[in-house]
């Protein structure tokens, strides 16, 4: 099967010979209605009903007790880490194969990343790699997990559900519990993805979601923190809204807070988007079936399916090439011929900012980095 055949198949699937983006948003529901309503109300900013409606509906959708809307997913991660009590000088374990935001949020606090390997099938943090890192390098002192190499406390672990495929989150949770490490899920890509019928982002103390323009639902920019802990939820609301003490006219703030609240106008869009989530998921699964069938006869390109015990949202459809040379040829050909494809991210530990971070053997991450490509994944309704 030539790259030409693949390009033609994708053009047929999306029913166009025009440029095919990787993932474009769909606004075919109540978006305009709610947006207009929001504008007419003049409450476009930090007060208004859509934020409240969204938070309630979102919590219900993922099955968590509370959801707090934020201005973007990075802000949601930043606050999630603060809720997990991560402080300057602490360390946080994460995966090297992720979008930069995961690592940025850790650095905003002044904490340091530790990179453990991913699993080949999930592309997410490997519980085996995590366990062996902890057993080799760490000890429990009192209640703290101490990294014997640096003498610092490992406060949190941030696995990410890559392209919507759930990682082995239950095993990761169990290991974190043993080592008294807070589990903070980066579920930015996995709205609508479940591990053993439990929604991703709801396994740990807190979870973070993103509604950036390329995500499965979008408010232009937006994010959410989810938790079952009432105190954490209250604290999240407080510090994302400048830590203002409620008062009918006085401005009193009791700590350094953040202006991370989602504007009501974005929330109005998001309420409409959330109403369509089930349709989006259905459309993505239909696309998956088409791709899966098409690539099943191909020896050079493997279509990546949802891992065991999980249901993926198939946010970005993903293929694996045989090697880096083939990957680059595929990227060149498709992008030159109007079909947008993208490689997976460069490993975080190879970026200038994170070069000196402690790492385990990262052979799976490296393998995937050289071979994984995302292909057009937009909802087709």
Ligand X SMILES: *Cc1c(COP(=O)(O)O)cnc(C)c1O
**Residue 188 near ligand X by CB under 6 A:** yes
* 3-state class (DSSP) for residue 350: helix
Cβ nearer to ligand X, comparing 3 with 115? 115
Cβ nearer to ligand X, comparing 99 with 133? 99
DSSP category for residue 96: S
Binding mask of the shown chain, residues 234 to 273, with x at each position contacting ligand X by CB under 6 A: ----------------------------------------
DSSP category for residue 375: E
What's the closest the beta carbon of residue 81 comes to ligand X, in angstroms?
12
Binding mask of the shown chain, residues 81 to 120, with x at each position contacting ligand X by CB under 6 A: -----------------xx-xx------------------
What's the closest the beta carbon of residue 288 comes to ligand X, in angstroms?
19
Instruction: With contacts defined by CB under 6 A, name the span among 21-29, 149-157, 185-193, 276-284 that binds ligand X.
Output: 185-193
Cβ nearer to ligand X, comparing 83 with 138? 83
DSSP E strands in 289-348: the ranges are 301-303, 310-311, 317-321, 342-343
**Residue 315 near ligand X by CB under 6 A:** no
What's the closest the beta carbon of residue 220 comes to ligand X, in angstroms?
10
What's the closest the beta carbon of residue 186 comes to ligand X, in angstroms?
5
Cβ nearer to ligand X, comparing 106 with 153? 106
Residue closest to 19 by CA, chosen among 346, 374, 357, 338 = 338
Q: Considering only residues 25-84, where is the footprint of ligand X by CB under 6 A?
A: 72-74, 77
Distance CA(66)–CA(57), nearest Å, equals 10
Helix 73-83 vs helix 230-240: angle between axes, to the nearest 10 degrees?
A: 130
Burial 34-65 (b: 16+ CB within 10 A, else e): bbeebeeeebbeeebebbebbbeebbebbebe
Tokens of residue 189, six digits = 């890509």
**Residue 210 near ligand X by CB under 6 A:** yes
**Residue 369 near ligand X by CB under 6 A:** no
Burial 325-343 (b: 16+ CB within 10 A, else e): ebbeebbebbeebebbbeb
Cβ neighbours for 64, distance < 8 A, ≥ 6 positions apart? 199, 201, 202, 207, 226, 227, 228
What's the closest the beta carbon of residue 55 comes to ligand X, in angstroms?
17
Cβ nearer to ligand X, comparing 64 with 266? 266
Tokens of residue 116, six digits = 């453990």
Cβ nearer to ligand X, comparing 7 with 219? 219
How many beta carbons lie within 10 A of that of residue 29, not counting itself?
Answer: 15
What's the closest the beta carbon of residue 49 comes to ligand X, in angstroms?
23
Indicate which single residue of 164, 223, 263, 376 sits in contact with ligand X (rule: CB under 6 A): 223
Residue closest to 350 by CA, chosen among 341, 340, 362 = 362
Q: Considering only residues 125-184, where is the footprint of ligand X by CB under 6 A?
A: 160
Site size toward ligand X, by CB under 6 A: 15
Distance CA(343)–CA(86), nearest Å, equals 32
List contacts with ligand X (CB under 6 A).
72-74, 77, 98-99, 101-102, 160, 186, 188-189, 210, 212, 223
């Amino acid at each position: 099967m030539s790259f030409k055949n693949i390009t033609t198949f994708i053009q047929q699937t999306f029913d166009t010979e025009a440029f095919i983006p990787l993932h474009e948003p769909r606004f075919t529901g109540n978006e305009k209605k709610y947006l207009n309503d929001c504008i007419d109300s003049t409450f476009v900013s930090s007060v208004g009903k859509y934020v409240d409606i969204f938070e309630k509906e979102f919590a219900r959708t993922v099955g968590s007790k509370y959801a707090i809307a934020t201005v973007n997913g990075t802000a949601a991660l930043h606050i999630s880490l603060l809720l997990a009590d991560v402080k300057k000088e602490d360390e946080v374990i994460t995966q090297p194969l992720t979008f930069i935001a995961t690592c940025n949020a850790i650095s905003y606090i002044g904490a340091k990343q530790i990179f453990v390997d991913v699993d080949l099938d999930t592309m997410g943090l490997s519980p085996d790699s995590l366990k062996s890192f902890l057993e080799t390098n760490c000890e429990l002192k009192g209640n703290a997990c101490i990294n014997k190499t640096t003498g610092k406390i490992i406060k949190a672990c941030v696995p990410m559900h890559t392209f919507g495929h759930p990682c082995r989150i239950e095993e990761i949770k169990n290991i974190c519990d043993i080592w008294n490490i807070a589990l903070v899920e980066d579920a930015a890509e996995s709205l609508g993805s479940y591990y053993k019928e439990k929604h991703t982002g709801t396994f740990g103390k807190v979870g973070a979601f993103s509604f950036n323009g390329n995500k499965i639902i979008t408010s232009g920019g937006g994010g959410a923190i989810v938790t079952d802990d009432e105190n954490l939820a209250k604290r999240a609301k407080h510090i994302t809204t400048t830590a203002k003490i409620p008062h009918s006219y006085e401005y009193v703030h009791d700590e350094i807070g953040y202006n991370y609240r989602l504007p009501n106008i974005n929330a109005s869009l998001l309420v409409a988007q959330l109403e369509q989530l089930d349709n989006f998921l259905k459309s993505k699964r239909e696309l998956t079936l088409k791709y899966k069938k098409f690539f099943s006869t191909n020896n050079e390109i493997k279509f990546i399916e949802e891992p065991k015990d999980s249901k993926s949202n198939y946010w970005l459809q993903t293929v694996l090439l045989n090697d880096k040379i083939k990957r680059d040829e595929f990227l060149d050909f498709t992008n030159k011929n109007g079909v947008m494809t993208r490689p997976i991210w460069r490993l975080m530990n190879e970026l200038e900012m994170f070069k000196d971070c402690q790492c385990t053997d990262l052979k799976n991450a490296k393998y995937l980095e050289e071979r994984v490509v995302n292909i057009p994944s937009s909802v087709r309704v």
